[in-house]
Every structure is written in structure tokens, then in C-alpha cells.
Amino acid sequence: MTSVTESNRAIVTHIMEALSRGERQPFGDAMADDFTWHMMGTTAWSGTFAGKTDVRKRLIGPLFAQFGARYTNSPKRILADGDYVVVESRGNVTTKAGKPYCNTYCMVIRMREGKMVELTEYLDTELVSSALEPPAWATA
């Protein structure tokens, strides 16, 4: 393994360990200003969110507003190769409507100079559609 691989894996491992405790700050701190998030599928939530501000405003904010408890996301496997880190994980939360939202994820993260610049998220889209209300921007 190269030192870039080891460094990127350590950064993402730190982020995921924090998320497993419900701590979101390390994830936010690791997003580059030009961070892009691709949520796969054809749900109301699917699409590309470009820039740290857009990710927070259109994805993270509306998503977490639906949660009735602290969201956790626990890693099962973290693999790294150069600028890429792949995380297999399991989220856990209940929505304010009382629906369990315990999704499984595979996230492919591209790193640059110690920051996340791109995340492609593969998840159970049927669960997204059945447990979450569509974001306001998708229904406008």
C-alpha cells in the first residue's frame, strides 16, 4: 500500500467510526468545498449534488430533518486504493413518522489532498421510497 492509500483509508475510517457513534462533524469537515455526491437510483432523492453547500442544503438538511433519533452508520468493510476508498456500511435510524430507516450502503469515495471530493452512494432505493418523504425540491 502507498502512503496515499493508507492516509485516505485512515481519514475515512475516522469518519465512519464517528458516524457509528452518531457524530456527523468529521464527515462535514472532510468534505472539500467542491464535493460532489451522486445518489444512485431513480427515487425522488436520487441525483447529483454539486458543492458542499448544495449537499448540505438539498440532501443532508432535508434528510436529517426526517429523522426522529440520532442517525448512526456503522462500517462493515473499508477498502482503499490510492485516491479511492470504498465503504460498505449499515445505517440505523427511525424517522419522525416512526418508520425504520436502516439502509445498507456501498459508498465509493474519491479523495484529494485529505478531503472527500466525490462520493457515489449505492443503497436500497426501495427502502428510500418507502421510508422517506420526498424532499421539497423534488415535489416543487
Domain range annotation of the chain: 3-132
CATH number of this structure's domain 3-132: 3.10.450.50
pLDDT of residue 84: 98
- In this structure, are residues 35 and 118 in contact, taking their beta carbons and an 8 Å threshold? yes
Report the C-alpha gap between 36 and 50 in whole angstroms: 5
pLDDT in tens, 80-131: 999 999 999 999 999 999 999 999 999 999 999 999 999 999 999 999 999 9
Indicate whether 2 pLDDT > 80: no
pLDDT in tens, 30-43: 999 999 999 999 99
Q: Which three cell numbers stand for residue 7?
A: 492516509
Is the pTM above the cut of 0.85? yes
